[in-house]
Structure 1
């Protein structure tokens, strides 16, 4: 029996074509600056109990670095309770730091748990990164 580590991405062969998109149990984080003190953290893959610590570390670090964090979850295919806990912690961390925290959620895999838990009313949730950035400019 062969067991493959889900965190290892193939670098050659048939599986290498899929290396740009995260597989089950993997998370991809892409960071970009979108203006003075504004960071966009684009998340792709599944946010579950295995990957939530990676998201938590990155989100909190970027909240410490800037005034605004836009967490783009449009590439997330699963958002579990551990991921929801990260969002709550990031929101609280932002408030303590006087930073802005915005969430971009368009996929049902993300919007459904946000609505079911009522967190869509707690966070500033937007349908696109552009909308989240415009909201920051209008402050």
Structure 2
């Protein structure tokens, strides 16, 4: 059995990473504020036990008195640690009187949400625009 260092990304062949994808163990995060009191945190890569703390810190940072839209459309894997971050962010939003919305498009995110029943707990939208308008599926 071969074990690959998770910090090494192949640069050629079938195992090569896409140019825009974060390296293993890293999470792509970008934040924009389309309106006063509204933050959109766009996430890309894998949300697992290694990267969930980054997502948690970023999400909680943008919850004070605002609407937080967590755009997971670039997420390729959502593990249980990532689901725990979503639950905590939702609970913190309620405690801080803030809105928490999730954008989920790909099966990598929608399947765990549906399987755990969390898709019914969060406001889940198909696009950032829909989430900003307050809609959900």
Taking structure 2 as the reference length, the TM-score comes to: 0.85
Say which SS state the counterpart of residue 63 (structure 2) adopts: helix
Partner in structure 1 of residue 74 of structure 2: 75
Partner in structure 1 of residue 92 of structure 2: 93
RMSD: 2.3
**Shift, 1:5, TM fit:** 6.2
Which structure is higher in helix share?
A: 1
Distance 1:23 1:97, change over 3 A: same
Partner in structure 1 of residue 46 of structure 2: 46
Does residue 126 of structure 1 match 2:125? yes
Does residue 57 of structure 1 match 2:22? no
Does residue 37 of structure 1 match 2:37? yes
Partner in structure 1 of residue 107 of structure 2: 108
Partner in structure 2 of residue 135 of structure 1: 134
Distance 1:5 1:120, change over 3 A: closer
State the distance in 2 between where 1:44 and 1:26 align: 9
Aligned residues: 129
Structure 1 residue ranges (4+ consecutive) displaced by more than 3 angstroms after TM superposition: none
Say which SS state the counterpart of residue 86 (structure 1) adopts: helix
**Shift, 1:135, TM fit:** 1.1
Deviation track 1:58-111 (CA, whole Å, cap 9, x = no partner) reads 0001112x4100000000000000000000000000000000000000000000
Residues 6 and 25, structure 2, Cα contact 8 Å, conserved in 1: no
Does residue 21 of structure 1 match 2:24? no
